[in-house]
Chains A and B, each alone.
Chain A
Amino acid sequence: MTIATTYNEDQAQERADSASLTRPVSAQKGTASGRNRVLLGLYLLFTLLPIYWLINMSLQSNQEILGTFSMWPQDFDFGSYIKIFTDPSWYMGYVNSITYVAMNMAISICVALPAAYAFSRYKFIGDKHLFFWLLTNLMAPPAVFLLPYFQLYYTVGMFDTHIAVALAHCLFNVPLAIWILEGFMSGVPKEVDETAYIDGYTFPGFFIKIFIPMIRSGVGVTLFFLFMFSWVELLLAQTLTATNAQPIGAIMTRTSTASGIDWSTLSAAGVLTILPGVLVVYFVRNHIAKGFALGRT
């Protein structure tokens, strides 16, 4: 599963040679980089506009939203945010979401670490098929599992609890964690393990005291991904809960009533769901690129 990246001068030279054969002309650097910035700027504008509009809506009152079309809030109205932070039926949605996401992160990382180590270090009967089976769970549409999950958790009395959602999200988060961690672990030379065993470490001692600290950036990035995928998933979270553990995404549907949609509150709630992700991504910004390549570049 490793994509080894031993770097090779000859190969570089060879590639460069073949490159120069086809087109020996050099490019004009200055104008190109200016154009690049404009293009990147345009893409970032495309990325930010819908988000800006959501923030814009969240800071207007409903009368202003429906009354006049304005590019920015005429008079800032924090009413929607105040409503969300003072009404328990609103802010408990965030608490519920964060609770099951945290539970899921803890469970997933604990079972994924040893499993990823096994995949990165050992050959065993059925290893490739087991890995593929994990992959299929990552790819499985949650909709397929909706009915049996509902029945299963209802039968064992876990319906409408945080742990039910946390366990259900393990379906795709555990395979994802194993995939990313396996990539990072394969980057650690096997000599590290061997030296530690010679020094008299037992497996658990070595694993916790030496190995995990060595791949801590990988663990950090994995935790970020676990957070992200559990935080954004809604279908399972919404189906497995009713009132006690209802995620914020489900509570947001309340803004649409018979008398119309409460745009301002909907926008404010939406803005507040983006913030935790932005906070988390800040901590792993230096390693995140590697994480997106599943630790193997």
Chain B
Amino acid sequence: MNKVENNKAWFLVLPMLVLVSFSAVIPLMTVVNYSIQDILGNSAFFVGTEWFEKTLNDPDLQGALLRQFAFSFTILAIEVPLGIAIALLMPKKGWQASAVLILVILPLLVPWNVVGSMWQIFTRGDIGLMGYGINALGYDYSITSNATDAWVTIILMDVWHWTPLIALLCYSGLRAIPEAYYQAARIDRASNWAVFRYIQLPKLTNVLVIGVLLRFMHSFMIYAEPFVLTGGGPGSSTTFLSQSLTSMAIGQQDLGPSAAFSIIYFLIILAVSYVFYIAIMNMQKDKVNTQGGA
């Protein structure tokens, strides 16, 4: 669509701008202010860049950051292919389509802390189906003492919780493919794989980029689920960024260091989402260009 150049459009965005500024810009400015001061009650001392220095060299936080990246890439590597597969398997019409759709969505509607509680119960050795089942098979499964078990369980929980998002994105992408494409493929007797590779996958790239962006970002702020499930343990083996930050800010009331941490955290998010944003924008531009030429 050709957009009209009109700066009066700013008036339409203005209410949104005021509201979001109130809930984003003012707090962010405050975080910057906190990050260079030592605040004790009502008195504040200027400390310069000390908190940044401390935070960047804090082994606990570096550990949390590394775990965070490992976690985010693992779940993406599992959820994206699985989501595509499920989207391909979902029925396309009739009452079955609606029923399966609602069942697939279910995990997304569960409040995040309840997801944690649910899996905590599910994986307990004494009362949970999964924990009891694995123990019965002879493996000594425990998320409170074995770090590997805790990791696997958190990844399984995240796959359970968020694969539906990728699946539904892909499902809607697949539904947008006109029937004529499939007819053409059938006439040419294309194999299932060829249909997927040359018809379905190209149509999915757009929704997949959005999906990967949303999943990456959400996994980067994961808090409630591991907090309830493992409490970050055993040790600090499942403590991710948000949880370190929250325990620092709320638990220990360290305003300065946690503000410095917040800014570093935010800068990482900003850089990654900018790369994705540029990718999305360029993809759309290419698309418009090729269509204009066709």
Contacts and interface: CB of A to CB of B under 8 A. Distances in A.
Nearest to A35: B89
Contacts of A65: 127
A139 B275 CA distance: 13
Interface string B11-32: 0110111011011101110110
Interface string A35-67: 010011001101111110110010000000110
Interface in B112-137: 112-114, 117-119, 121-122, 126-130, 132
A120 B13 CA distance: 12
B86 interface: yes
A12 B181 contact: yes
Nearest to A146: B249
B266 to A, nearest CB: 5
Contacts of A9: 180
B20 A137 contact: yes
A172 to B, nearest CB: 9
A27 B105 contact: no
Chain A CB within 10 Å, residue with most, of B98, B191, B284: B191
A19 interface: yes
Interface string A242-277: 000000110010000000000100110010011001
B5 A122 contact: yes
B159 to A, nearest CB: 9
Contacts of A211: none
Nearest to A289: B172
Q: Most A CB atoms within 10 A — which of B7, B194, B245, B284? A: B194
B137 to A, nearest CB: 15
Interface string B257-268: 011001001100
B246 A235 contact: yes
Contacts of B111: 231-232, 234, 248-249, 273
Give the bracket for the number of chain A residues in contact with chain B: 35 or more
A263 B249 CA distance: 30
Given A2-B1, A228-B108, A19 B114 contact: no
Given A20-B189, A175-B20, A297 B128 contact: no
Contact of B5 (A123, A138, A140, A175): A123
B104 interface: yes
A44 B167 CA distance: 12
B171 interface: yes
Contacts of A107: 19
Contacts of A186: 1
A53 B89 CA distance: 25
A290 B277 CA distance: 21
Contact of B12 (A2, A51, A114, A141): A114
User: Which range holds the interface residue count of chain B?
Assistant: 35 or more
Contacts of A124: 5-10
A175 B114 CA distance: 25
Interface string A5-47: 1111111110111111011111100001000100110011011
Contacts of A151: 30
Contact of A277 (B13, B109, B202, B273): B109
B100 to A, nearest CB: 7
A186 B288 CA distance: 14
A274 B266 contact: no
Interface in A171-228: 171, 174-175, 178, 186, 190, 228
10 contacts: A16-B184, A18-B198, A19-B185, A121-B4, A123-B5, A174-B20, A232-B109, A270-B118, A289-B101, A293-B169
Interface of B: 1-10, 12-13, 15-17, 19-20, 22-24, 26-28, 30-31, 34, 85-86, 89-90, 98, 100-114, 117-119, 121-122, 126-130, 132, 160, 164-165, 168-169, 171-173, 175-176, 178, 180-181, 184-185, 187-195, 197-199, 202, 206-207, 210, 217, 220-221, 223-224, 241-242, 245-246, 249-250, 255, 258-259, 262, 265-266, 269-270, 273-274, 277, 281, 284, 287-288, 291, 294
Given A139-B273, A148-B34, A263-B121, 6 more contacts: A48-B103, A57-B127, A115-B13, A143-B246, A152-B26, A270-B114
